[in-house]
Amino acid sequence: MECKDIIRLMEELAPVRYACDWDNVGLLVGSQNKKVQRLMLALDPSEDVIDQAVREGVDMLITHHPLIFGSIKRVNSNDITGRKILKLIKNDISYYAAHTNLDSAVMADEAGKMFGLVNTNILSEEYSENLYKLCTFVPVSHALKVRDAMTREGAGHIGEYSNCTFNVEGIGTFKPLEGTNPYIGKINETANAQEMRIEVTVQKDKLDRVIKAMLKVHPYEEVAYDIYKLENEIDRKGIGIRGYIDNDMTLEEFAMKVKQVLKADTVRMCGDPVKKVVKIAVCPGSGKSVVEDALKAKVDVLVSGDIDHHKALEAWEQGMAVIDAGHFITEYFVVDYLRDYLIDKIYNTDEDLYANSVKLEIIKAEEKEPFSYIR
């Protein structure tokens, strides 16, 4: 397999368009054409993880947190980021990061499942896209062909239904001018044609493909088609999840559940230990930025990491408890998730796409919670 094959699988799972504007995701170091026989997965691109990647002779490293965030003016061994980049380049390791796109695509839902949340919703919406409508006018004789070409490229997909189109017959008029080569009609004479107006909805990322496919089979020299941007929003994604637990618990009982589910050594909580909690928000990683959204949603408790003193106090004063289980432990599950996902995609696929490639070995870096506690 090549690095780009793995990137394709990663982006089927977590499309780059889901990433927050401030984020930096994708192939950050190395070549996408690099042959990959050993792949390492980790949460953090720490120097220790990169050293492990070098020792293990991996060809590609994927981490959740990106090694490079802001702009870099120089890459030298005087600073820690430069040193890491140099090490990756010297050892010909392609390095890829999937951060907030992975948060939106996977982590929120998985966190909801881990805590058994029901009636869930996105906690902090970061991404949605407008749907488009494409209408074209085609001689009735070619309607089926044009319709098929558009739906084959993914137009007309609504929920669990595909091939959704609307068709109405009418009369199209046009006058071919000098220099044209009309499919119907004569030069300088107004023609009437029995046409079908075909309407389909299309997602933005499929629009170009659908138009190209439609033009390819449409018999007219000049194809009339309209594109409308709709108010309908689809593909809503975001950071964190909120929902309800089946049976209410006290804050302390729920904090104990969080500790068990995450296999955390310790969790911190801010709030009244005997208060009943039923409406829960979970944001793996750093939850500071979602405190306001959780307050707006009137959840009883927010489970996250990296909540500072002031934020926790502000939340408590407004009736929302906070359970801080730590940034590392609330996110680490995603490394196992990615490993299972890639193995499943590469080895359990019916298509056997990678049958002829050398068996890819996927290894996890050894990582642990960076903070330790002295009691």
Q: Least Å distance between CB 205 and Zn ion?
A: 26
Alpha carbon distance 69, 59 (integer Å)? 22
Binding segment toward Zn ion, per CB under 5 A, in 182-190, 251-259, 278-286, 367-375: 278-286
The minimum distance between CB 104 and Zn ion, in angstroms, equals 13
By CB under 5 A, which span of 115-123, 146-154, 329-337, 354-362 interacts with Zn ion? 329-337
Of 98, 76, 77, 125, the C-alpha closest to 28 is 98
Least distance between Zn ion and beta carbon 64 (Å): 6
Q: Do residues 198 and 139 touch, judged by C-beta distance below 8 A?
A: no
What is the token pair recorded at 61? 């490293």
Q: Residues 238, 240, 243, 285: which binds Zn ion (CB under 5 A)?
A: 285
Nearer to Zn ion among residue 285 and residue 326 (C-beta): 285
CB of 107 vs Zn ion, minimal distance in Å: 9
Pick between residue 240 and residue 271 the one whose CB is nearest to Zn ion: 240
Binding piece for Zn ion, criterion CB under 5 A, among 216-224, 226-234, 247-255, 277-285: 277-285
Q: Which CB atom, from 126 or from 331, has the smaller least distance to Zn ion?
A: 331
Residue closest to Zn ion (Cβ): 285
Q: Quick one: 238 or 285, whose CB is closer to Zn ion?
A: 285
Nearer to Zn ion, 30 or 285 (CB): 285
CB of 305 to Zn ion, least distance (A): 8
CB of 174 or CB of 328, closer to Zn ion: 328
Q: Which stretch binds Zn ion (CB under 5 A): 147-155, 270-278, 328-336, 359-367?
A: 328-336
Binding site for Zn ion (CB under 5 A): 285, 331
